Amino acid sequence: MEIAIEIANSISNKIMRFTIKLVKRILKPFSGMIDWANSYSLWPVHFTTSCCGCEFAATYDPRFDSERYGSLPFTHVRDTNTIIIEGTISKKMAKALKVVYDQMPSPKYVIAMGACAIDGGIFYNSYNVVKPRDFLPVEVYIPGCPPRPEAVENAILTMQRRIRELRIASKKVTE
């Protein structure tokens, strides 16, 4: 019985690997299109722990209207590809942050907003504060305390440029 299960597992693993290889090969000629589409569909789930969240909210209000760049804040982590960390991350919140990040589908991007999310800000060197870059691959940093909505928009545009120029999305999908 055990041998039969092992054989079934190995066959299903081989089929899975073959399917993944096939999909990657099919997608390769469309890599430019994947990067283009991905860069214009950055849907951030916002991870707000402090005051930077107000500036993030203002970024998507009618005055700044960041949706015109193809970026739309989302609440459901399994439908988002970008996480914007707004504020201080304590050791307790770091665990929640990792859970949220792990649930997001790949290719996914991390943006750290504000001095607190970069290196602790006014809580620098506190015993309970961690830096997101120590456990997540942060792609873009937004300096300031708090950063203005224009700075958040600039980060979104920078991320878009990085995806297209460095072909980040297609590499993650096809390699």
149 touches ligand SF4 (CB under 6 A):
no
Of 39-47, 74-82, 98-106, 109-117, the segment contacting ligand SF4 by CB under 6 A is 109-117
Rounded to whole angstroms, the Cα distance separating 117 from 45 reads 15
65, 122, 165, 166: which one binds ligand SF4 (CB under 6 A): 122
| Per-residue interface string for the shown chain with ligand SF4, residues 15-54, x marking contact by CB under 6 A | -----------------------------------xxx--
Single out the residue of 169, 77, 70, 85 nearest to residue 131, CA to CA: 85
Q: In angstroms, what is the minimal distance from the CB of 88 to ligand SF4?
A: 6
Nearer to ligand SF4, 44 or 87 (CB): 87
Is residue 112 within 8 A of residue 133, CB to CB? The reply is: yes
* Identity of the residue numbered 2: E
- Secondary structure of 69-136 in the HEC alphabet? HCECCECCHHHCCEEEEECCEEHHHHHHHHHHHHHCCCCCEEEEEHHHHHHCHHHCCCCCEECHHHCC
Contact between 116 and ligand SF4 per CB under 6 A: yes
Q: In the range 79-108, which residues lie near ligand SF4 by CB under 6 A?
A: 87-88
Closest CA to 39 of 113, 109, 102: 109
Shortest distance, position 144 Cβ to ligand SF4, whole Å = 7
Kindly state the smallest distance separating residue 102's Cβ from ligand SF4, in Å. 24
Helix (H, G, I), strand (E, B) or coil at 31: helix
Would you give the end-to-end CA distance of the chain in angstroms?
A: 37
Tell me the window of 14-22, 60-68, 115-123, 150-158 that interacts with ligand SF4 (CB under 6 A).
Answer: 115-123
What is the binding site for ligand SF4 (CB under 6 A)? 50-52, 87-88, 114-116, 121-122, 145-146
